[in-house]
Amino acid sequence: MTTPTDRILDGKALASKMQDALQQKIAKLQPQIGRQPGLAVLMVGDNPASAAYVGGKEKACAKVGIRSFGQHFPTDVSQEKLTAIIHELNADDRVDGILVQLPLPDGFDSVALLHEIAPHKDVDGLHALNLGKLVRGEPGLQSCTPAGVMRLLSEYKLDVRGKHAVVVGRSILVGKPLALMLLAADATVTIAHSRTPDLAAVCRQADILVAAVGRTQMISAEMVKPGAVVIDVGINRLTDPTTGKSRLVGDVDFEPVKEVASWITPVPGGVGAMTVTMLLENTVWSYANTHGLV
C-alpha cells in the first residue's frame, strides 16, 4: 500500500503560475483603466506572525503590479480611528481591496470593523454581505484560504461532486466558508470540530478530509480512509528547543498520512502558499469589476 510521492498538491507551483497570469492581466488592464490596482492592508500591533504575513502580501503585490497602501498602527489606536481610515479607503479610487489583518489585539471589535469595509472592496470576503452571498450560492468576493483550497482541487482535477468532504474546524475564516464552497460544488459535507464525538470515525468516512484546526498532529494516519484526498490548512510554528530554529507544520501528521492518502497538501507550500495569491486575484477582480472589465 504505497502512494507515489508525487501525489502532492503543489500550492507553491500553482501560486507562482497564477501570479504570472495576474501580472499579465494587470499589464493588459492598466492602460485601459489608467492606474494600477491597489490593496490596503491595515495592521494593528506587532504580532510577529502578522507582520510576516503582511510583508509577504506586500511583496506579492509588488511582484504582480498591485500598489500597496499598507498602514501599521500601534495597539493604542482607537476603534474610531480605524473606522475613519476604512471610510477614507472606501472612498479612495486608487484602492480596490481593503484587508484588516486578523487577529486584532484584545479590545478591538473586529466584526464591527469588517462591516465598515465597502462590500465591493472586501477582498477577504468576511463582510456579512459577501458571506451571505456565499450562503446563497451567488457570486461574490470569497475568503482567500478556502477559495485557494477549491482552486487547488480544481487545478488537479480532483472531483468534488458527490464526494463526502469532512471539514475539521468551523472558523469563519476557513472552516465555515470552505464547507459552503464544497457544498456549492456538490460535495456531501460534514463539519466536525472539537466537540464532535469519535472524530476519528467521522474523519475515516471522508473522501476529502480538510484539517483547519490549528493543532499539530491533529490528523493521524488512522483517521484517514485509504485513497482520501487530505487538505492541511493548519499553520503551526514549532521551535526546535536545541537549535532554536522554528519551522512550520500543519495539522496533519504528514509522513504517515501521505502513505495512506491519494493526494495531500504539504505545509509549507500547500494551502498557505495559495492564500496570498487568492487575495491578489480578489483585488484584481474588484479592480476589473469596478471598471466593467470582468
Ligand X SMILES: Nc1nc(=O)c2c([nH]1)NC[C@@H]1CN(c3ccc(C(=O)N[C@@H](CCC(=O)O)C(=O)O)cc3)C=[N+]21
Residues of this chain that bind ligand X (CB under 6 A): 52-53, 56, 99-102, 124, 144-145, 235, 248, 267-269, 272-273, 275-276
Nearer to ligand X among residue 62 and residue 201 (C-beta): 62
Nearest distance from C-beta of residue 12 to ligand X, angstroms: 6
Kind of pairing between the strands at 246-249 and 236-239: antiparallel
- Considering 10, 101, 176, 207, which one is annotated as catalytic? 101
3-state class percentages of the chain: helix first, strand second, coil last, to nearest 5: 45, 15, 40
Residue 17 appears among annotated catalytic residues:
no
- Angle, vertex CA 178, rays to CA 187 and CA 112, nearest 5: 145
Closest residue to ligand X, based on beta-carbon distance: 272
Nearer to ligand X among residue 13 and residue 201 (C-beta): 13
Nearest distance from C-beta of residue 188 to ligand X, angstroms: 27
- Considering 25, 36, 57, 207, which one is annotated as catalytic? 57
Residue 106 appears among annotated catalytic residues:
no
Nearest distance from C-beta of residue 266 to ligand X, angstroms: 8
- Considering 10, 96, 122, 124, which one is annotated as catalytic? 124
Cβ-Cβ contacts under 8 Å for 62 (sequence gap 6 or more): 68
Residue 57 appears among annotated catalytic residues:
yes
Q: CB–CB of 275/248 below 8 Å?
A: no
Distance of CA 123 to the CA centre of its chain: 11
Nearer to ligand X among residue 122 and residue 207 (C-beta): 122
Q: CB–CB of 280/64 below 8 Å?
A: yes
Question: How far is Cα 71 from Cα 85, in angstroms, rounded to an integer?
Answer: 9
Kind of pairing between the strands at 229-232 and 236-239: unpaired
Can you say which residues are annotated as belonging to the binding site for NADP(+)?
A: 169-171, 235
Active site residues: 57, 101, 124
